[in-house]
Amino acid sequence: MPKLFLLIKIILFFGLLSMSASGHAEQSDALKADAIFKLLDSGNLEKNETYQTYLTELDSLISKADTQRQLRLTRARCWAFNALKEGQVDKALAFAQQALNTPNLAKYPNNKLDLELCQAWYTEQKGDVQLALKSYNQAINDAYALENLRLVADARGMRGYLHSYQGNFTQGLEDLLTAHSLYQSLNLPAWSRTSLYEIATSYRRLGDYKSAIRYFKKLKTSYIKSKNFDSANAISVSIAIAEEERGNLERAKILFEKGYKYWKSNNRELEQATVAVNIAGTLIKLGEFDQASQYLNEAEPFILPTDEAFYSFMHLFRAQIYLANGQLPQAHKSIAYARSAFDRVKNLRGLTLLQMVQSQLFLKEGKWQQAYYALDEYVKLHNELDVKRLSNYTTEMRTRFNVDQIEKENQHLIENQQLREIELAMLEQNKQQQWIIILLGSVLMMIISVFAYKQIQKNRLLSALALTDDLTQLPNRRYIYIKAQHCFEEAQKTDRPLSVIAFDADHFKLINDKFGHEVGDHALELLADTCRSLISSTYETARVGGEEFLIVLTDIDKPQAFEIAQSLVRRVSENDFSAFPQGFNMTISAGVACLSSTDSKLSQLLKRADDALYQAKSLGRNQAKMS
């Protein structure tokens, strides 16, 4: 092996000597462009004007024939729109859609996925959070399939922020902690700090103010050491919010006022306005309504309806002030504005506060019945929010467990990514020497293949990251085995029937080899959809392996289970495959077993189902057999 690498170094040396002067100039521009891309991706640029300047420089450095870097430039442009400026979100969405219509973009899946993620984020800024969440879910699945850690971190960070804002703290913390771990692994400290900020904010929303303030102070210290005083001030404001929610109103007021004066002294009107909204909420709780109104008057010209977070609370605070001053019609109007904004982003926490204010407003008007209905809705929303507010211990333990598991997979992904980067660097440096490129590419692909082969067994151990299979959205192996064990024990105690159906796709390896893994994934999704349409939600269906599935049928005897299995086999073979490539077809084989008096363990029942499945395979497939 040392001799082989020595030979490669010698070949590289003479290859570089043979490059032309124009080649050197082209390579120099490419290296400058890559350095700028790295800077843009680092998250260290805070001013949009600086970002735009670098985009202009990239235009002059990147050749039109350099497809990869042109696509990367398009991605950078997509993220360059300022969502805080009026009309920019619509322009960003139009740009993203046009970029996604680029011919042959499917050949560059990483670029395509980043553009889709960009589109999803601006969709969220537009207010369509349901569509954004759906897009984030798909982006995460695709990023894992591509083994692109940066896109996994970005997508999970964005989804985690949205979950946390909506009150789904468990899902939010799982995503944010995972994103934070990935950013640290990728040596992206700016994005790591951003995710840490969102983690602290999630703990604040969860009600664990002590943990939130601890994380915020850690961040503030980091920003002060790096002389990033703007960010340090923003963290001070976040600490103020936590102190307010903790009940330390005077402490919160002092911190808010310091943050407000800092932004004012630096002529940062938008940031000053956001703090003004926050401090108004604290002043209202202290009964200082006139001063709160003054702050809101200062903030209103800068807080646009597109910024739902501050816009919604600005009008909620307005309503509270109008209510205190007896200006009831104006209070109703402000409540309507606030409700519209809270509804757009599905902010359960904000809607809960709003219902209480509305109940107090109706009560003051003497509208007892409407006050009762508003209070009743407040109780319902508050109970729903309480359900989502899991204990900090349970949430933190669960998220830490999942992150520990994911970190093992991340290490494998990082190593693969590093190998791919080495390969691309070698190809770029020696593109005029085709025979060297072929040699290096072959060596690298062999290394990647050997490494992937050794790691495949480890990857299978990471399947229990959650209770739901990411691809099919069916329960996974861990869940179904726990459920099956419970059903097995209940059936033994009550002497009631219990059946299982084990089935898998016939010749699934050939499907992947012939049509590719993407088509194979769609085939598994079709199998899952077919099961959902046929099997009642009373029973459990899960994906337990690559193309292997298991159905647990409580209170179903063997003849009934066999009939269900035959129907499933028939339904799969009769599916409409028109959306798949020409020549695609898929069948399944199934094995049925029913609990007998000789079964002392669940494994015996499952073993008989597997034996029946293998019998169906050996007899020609596309059929069901009973044990």
d(CA 319, CA 314): 9
Residue 395 near residue 169 (C-beta atoms within 8 A): yes
d(CA 390, CA 186): 31
- Three-class SS state of 268: coil
For the sheet with 624-626, list strands across it: 540-543, 548-554, 498-505, 588-594, 624-626
DSSP state of 592: E
DSSP state of 463: G
State CA 161 to chain mean position distance: 9
**Which of 132, 136, 115, 114 lies closest to 123, judged by CA?**
132
Specify which residues 505 forms β-bridges with: 588
Specify which residues 500 forms β-bridges with: 552, 593
The answer to whether 269 is a known catalytic residue is no
* Helix segments in 461-516, DSSP class H: 477-494, 508-515
- Rg of the chain over all Cα atoms, to the nearest angstrom: 29
d(CA 397, CA 358): 38
Contacts of 114 by beta carbon, 8 Å cutoff, 6+ apart: 75, 78, 151, 154
Crossing angle for the helix pair 348-365 and 368-388, to the nearest 10 degrees: 160
> Burial of 434 by CB count in 10 Å (0-12 exposed, 13-18 middle, 19+ buried)?
exposed
State CA 414 to chain mean position distance: 19
Specify which residues 626 forms β-bridges with: 592
**Which of 88, 76, 83, 7 lies closest to 38, judged by CA?**
76
User: What is the phi/psi pair of residue 455, to 5°?
Assistant: -90, -10
* Amino acid at site 379: V
Residue 541 near residue 473 (C-beta atoms within 8 A): no
DSSP state of 581: P
Task: Tell me the residue length of the chain.
Answer: 627
d(CA 396, CA 172): 11
Q: Per the residue annotation, which of 271, 547, 563, 574 is the catalytic one? A: 547
DSSP state of 578: T
Element (H, E) at 179: helix 169-185
Neighbour count for residue 111 (Cβ, 10 Å): 21
Catalytic machinery residues: 547
